Structure 1
């Protein structure tokens, strides 16, 4: 007994394959690999996450300071200024723009916007 594939699911797989072969996706994957392989970037990511987590904990307890927020922001700026991280963020933005255009093309003939309606129903 064979399992029949739904035509829409098949189109979804084809769309996924087409997206994976775009220059934007390939650049994103390359930039991601560069970030993952760079020990300095990974160390800066860890430092940023630690400062952010400490700040969020302090904020939940009502003891967050402006200085702590500035430390988080400074760590994020330092991280984002690293060449490999900057390239990753740029590639991510370009891929997001491309995926938004695909979403618009899918949503155009329909009465809903899949990206905008994913979490709810029937809003006025």
Structure 2
């Protein structure tokens, strides 16, 4: 059986399939973008980094420059392993504190470090 490729209905069907596949492939990319760590929460000034002898341990060292108590935690994007969050730290105005977290050893280490409110 020979199928004609010039039929308008088949062209519409091909267009719909291409559109559906494009949307399906774009979905994971959009979700990954939405999951990216956020900027430093308002009222805090933070330094982030990796432990100097362990590429799997990251930290956020923050100071509360605001006028009310603030809570934060470090968020590590861990490559092949699941992402992890550190302990929640609440700081009163003027206080400093640190949150740490550790990526699983099976992965590729820390890919990104963020601070979450």
TM-score w.r.t. structure 2 length? Answer: 0.24
Give the structure with the larger helix fraction: 1
TM-score w.r.t. structure 1 length? Answer: 0.23
Give the structure with the larger strand fraction: 2
